[in-house]
Structure 1
Amino acid sequence: MKMTASPTAGNGTQRSFTVRAGEASGERIRLSVYDMLIGLVYTPRTFFYRQTLDGAALRDSLSRTLRNFPMVSGRMKKDSDGRLSVLCDDSGVRFIETTASEPMPDHGPHHTAKKGINRYLTQVNPLQVADRDTPLFTVKLTHMQGGGSVLGVTMNHAVADGSAYMRFLESWSREHRGLGYAKPGHDRGLIDALADPVARDARSDSAHFTVTKRGRKSAYVGRVLFSSIAKVSTMVTTRFSAAELAAMKDAAMADLAGTKRWVSTNDALTAHLWKVLGALRGRPDTSPERLGLLADFRAFVGEAVPDDYWGNTVTNTRPGMTAAELRSRPLGEVASAVRSGYAENTEEKIRQETAFLCAQYEAGRLKRILPTMTLDKFENTIVINNWSKLPFYDLDFGQGTPFWYDVPALPTPWTVLMAPTPADQPGGRDVHMSVPRALVRTLREPSWTDRFHRYANSAEACPLTFGNG
């Protein structure tokens, strides 16, 4: 059977299903070094719909979609040499359908879903994934009183990064509506093969990855767990309209007049956020300030990794300057530094990076590696994750697109997520920022809203919204 159902004890309004493709290749796909670098954590996402979604129809279309994504319905296995693989045995994904007792909240940048968002998600222990019957993808469909549904999904990050994750969800949406979509490629060998041309000359160190000393990674993980439990960070959300972004880019380009340099809208917004958050940190003039920029490396390696590859293909760069420079330089200059940071992602850089990671795997040190920007996030780095081009608001399952997208509060400070805005507010950005709780009182002062929205019409500036999950 493609689907099986069983009632959940103690709650007559909740049903649990296992959704399967109905076919299995039995192939065992070994994870790449970038997949294993991520670890077995799960990435949660929630989508809020005004209309009520059809659970049975969703399960049926999900079943059909899984035929093209066999890893999603497989299980994580540990190989004899310690490497991880996904066994494509179609063990299935977990699908929970439930009913809430309250109506759909009017979520948006003025009222985020972070408080209580976990009620819409299925929690999975990443320590109980390898060699266990633990799904790599889960769905929780919550129907709200009076209409509307929340689609909460989690995917194991070792299987797919953010772009691949959304490609799966978009494929599911298109399958649900009877539309075609490009089939994904699952050959993980393509990634490790990037190291082959430079393997002999590979560097023994990396500018963007750190081989931690024994105990340092555990100490870092412990600090993250403490931050999560103690809620030392608070999520701050605000919306930048399309008109505001246009004014921001115009200001940046005016700063660069006569230099023949160009920056994008996202470069300008990233630079603006870096400047404002740098001012909020208030570090001494000579202190180094770094910006962690995540990027999809498929765009930089030509045909070596095809567009249809489905997995983890994220790299990073870390442009920097002193705190005094960050405060004093005009927006255009900082935006140009952001653009130069992205430009560091050359084919040679990616190949050298892959060779470094492969060498660390062979030496048994891959588990001790962390992105340097991640280690420095508590100190001198602000990490920007630009999701503005991901199709969050294109996911139509027959009842229209979501009116709001949200994620749980982030446990570590100084992380920024840039998301697109809904269809009724096109071209803008919803920005979610994790900042230390100790700075919340400062941020509540009206002057900080003015700083974030200095390029907006004062009557249209979106206030800052505070709230953890």
Structure 2
Amino acid sequence: MTASASESGAKRSFTVRAGEASGDRIRLSVYDMLIGPIYTPRAFFYRQTLDGEALRASLGRTLRNFPILSGRMKRDPDGGLSVLCDDAGVRFVEAHASVRMPDYGPRHTAKKGLDRYLSHAMPFWVVDRDTPLFTVKLTHMKGGGSILGLTMNHAVADGSSYMAFVESWSREHRGLGYPKPSHDRGVIAALAASAAGDSRIGSAHLTVTRRGQKSAFIRRMAFGSLGGVKTVSTRFTADELAAMKDIAMANLAGTKRWVSTNDALTAHLWKVLGEFRARPDTSRERLGLVADFRAVVAEAVPDDYWGNAVTNTRPGMTAAELRSRPLGEVAAAVRSGFSENTEERIREEAAFLCAEFEAGRLKRVMTTMGLDAFDGTIAINNWSKLPFYDIDFGQGAPFWYDFPSMTIPWTVHIAPTPADQHGGRDVYMALPRERVRTIQEPSWADRFHRYADSGEVFPLTFMAAKAED
């Protein structure tokens, strides 16, 4: 590991390198390029103070197995993207705050002002630039405790890969072993090449946007980041989720159908948000379900594949059906939606994306789920199995995890709860600003938590989408 440093006031900036460079040029897949070079920030909050020098040393060692993260993104002659593994390095900022660690949690999230704990990179200043694909900001709080803010370029990794790297780093830091990742993007190209039939079949949940349509979507996202969209959060306890699943399974008694706890929670959120939106009975309600497809095509894409391997499906029903059907039937529809992710469908989708790239149209392709987010789709991204609360750098696990507020309305993120609340779920919902006051009325909190017993019920907590000091 090598690290160079510069100082500015209370902050020190380092460039952390693995100390070795293969010079390989890793060609990004069509799924990587579909995402684009945006960054995904995450922050981990620790009661104990972390050792910055030791973190930089273990990060450098970990980068030897993840050379793509210390490389730089390049444009290929055919318009594609690659990462040159030249070990140009990761930016690591170490800072000291003048305030004590707030008592973050479900009633006081860290979204307001989270940017101060992150070291951002410009997403439109990445290709053919000396812009790091991963950045770290370690902030030590007055009186003890540290905040570890991480940003990673989404074009190189999905959520599962992101957390696989962070978990590997934490294990490397503690002298533990971890599985080495596969960076072979050729498996995605092989997946597409093996598809049978017309590649257009794979466009079921993808849209080739019309002229100006994608730009209009980006403008609406920008409006959301300026305060047009607000994030509301709440916590569902393990007991509450168990009751929810029991009700769903009771609804399905005698049908031989099974649903998971996450299916039941997803169905419940879809139903309540459907009631809240109050669209006409005949309106088509869609549920966007984000899913990792590694397990579906296990023989073609290994579990240790490090990159983007995410697809989505969109089960639907009318607004009247969504409101009237029992929880179990809606949960079964959720389960059926995930079941659409067959090996054949994933191969066809990969083939469609490759065909669009060859035709020069991949930049115009968007997920239909995303494109419809402002209208008929509620999109749910379930992170509840990701190891957010297992990231231990020798000073214990984080007591809180957070990420910036979402900018696209009707988007829902489900996260695990800390170790002392094992089995629960923290749920974040992005809503149009004008609807936030309504959903905070007690009647809506009662609907979200209708399966809770007489014990503690978590309120719907509102946080501004834009940092305010």
TM-score, shorter chain, exceeding 0.5? yes
2:44 to 43, 47, 63: 47
5 Å matches for 1:66-145?
66-145=63-142
Q: 1:297 maps to which residue? A: 293
Matched, 1:352 2:364: no
SS in 2 for 1:306: coil
Q: 2:250 maps to which residue? A: 254
2:32 to 35, 45, 48: 35
Equivalenced residue count is: 465
Aligned 8 A contact 2:231 2:405 in 1:
yes
1:367 to 354, 363, 366: 363
Once the two structures are overlaid, the 10-residue window that deviates more, 458-467 or 445-454, is 458-467
Tell me the amino acid that sits aligned with residue 137 of structure 1: F
5 Å matches for 1:293-442?
293-442=289-438
1:172 to 169, 173, 178: 169
Name the CA distance, whole Å, in 2 between partners of 1:2 and 1:199. 48
TM-score norm. by structure 2 comes to 0.98
Tell me the amino acid that sits aligned with residue 34 of structure 1: Y
Name the CA distance, whole Å, in 1 between partners of 2:212 and 2:264. 39
Tell me the amino acid that sits aligned with residue 269 of structure 1: L
CA apart distance, 1:204:
5.8
Tell me the amino acid that sits aligned with residue 296 of structure 1: D
CA apart distance, 1:205:
6.1
SS in 1 for 2:163: helix
Name the CA distance, whole Å, in 1 between partners of 2:234 and 2:132. 34
Tell me the amino acid that sits aligned with residue 238 of structure 1: T
Name the CA distance, whole Å, in 1 between partners of 2:181 and 2:297. 18
Instruction: Find runs of 4+ consecutive structure 1 residues off by over 6 angstroms.
Output: none
Name the CA distance, whole Å, in 1 between partners of 2:389 and 2:65. 23
Name the CA distance, whole Å, in 2 between partners of 1:96 and 1:441. 38
Deviations 1:226-265 (A, max 9, x none): 2212x11111111101010000000000000110100000
Name the CA distance, whole Å, in 2 between partners of 1:455 and 1:38. 37
Q: 1:453 maps to which residue? A: 449
Name the CA distance, whole Å, in 1 between partners of 2:126 and 2:200. 33
Name the CA distance, whole Å, in 2 between partners of 1:237 and 1:79. 42
TM-score norm. by structure 1 comes to 0.98
Name the CA distance, whole Å, in 2 between partners of 1:294 and 1:226. 24
CA apart distance, 1:300:
0.6
SS in 2 for 1:299: coil
5 Å matches for 1:217-236?
217-229=214-226, 231-236=227-232
CA apart distance, 1:183:
0.2
Aligned 8 A contact 2:206 2:367 in 1:
yes
List runs of 5+ in structure 1 lacking aligned partners.
none
Aligned 8 A contact 2:139 2:147 in 1:
yes
Name the CA distance, whole Å, in 2 between partners of 1:7 and 1:111. 33
Q: 1:102 to 1:366 in 2, by over 3 A?
A: same
Q: 1:21 maps to which residue? A: 18
Deviations 1:265-311 (A, max 9, x none): 00000000000111110101000100000000111113111111100
Name the CA distance, whole Å, in 2 between partners of 1:200 and 1:240. 45
Deviations 1:184-214 (A, max 9, x none): 0000011111011226532266110000012
SS in 2 for 1:433: strand
Deviations 1:155-193 (A, max 9, x none): 000000000000000000000000000000000011111
List runs of 5+ in structure 2 lacking aligned partners.
none
Percent of residue pairs identical: 74
Q: 1:4 maps to which residue? A: 4
Tell me the amino acid that sits aligned with residue 54 of structure 1: D
Task: Compute the RMSD of aligned alpha carbons.
Answer: 0.9
SS in 1 for 2:419: coil
Name the CA distance, whole Å, in 1 between partners of 2:60 and 2:331. 44
Name the CA distance, whole Å, in 2 between partners of 1:252 and 1:435. 26
Tell me the amino acid that sits aligned with residue 421 of structure 1: T
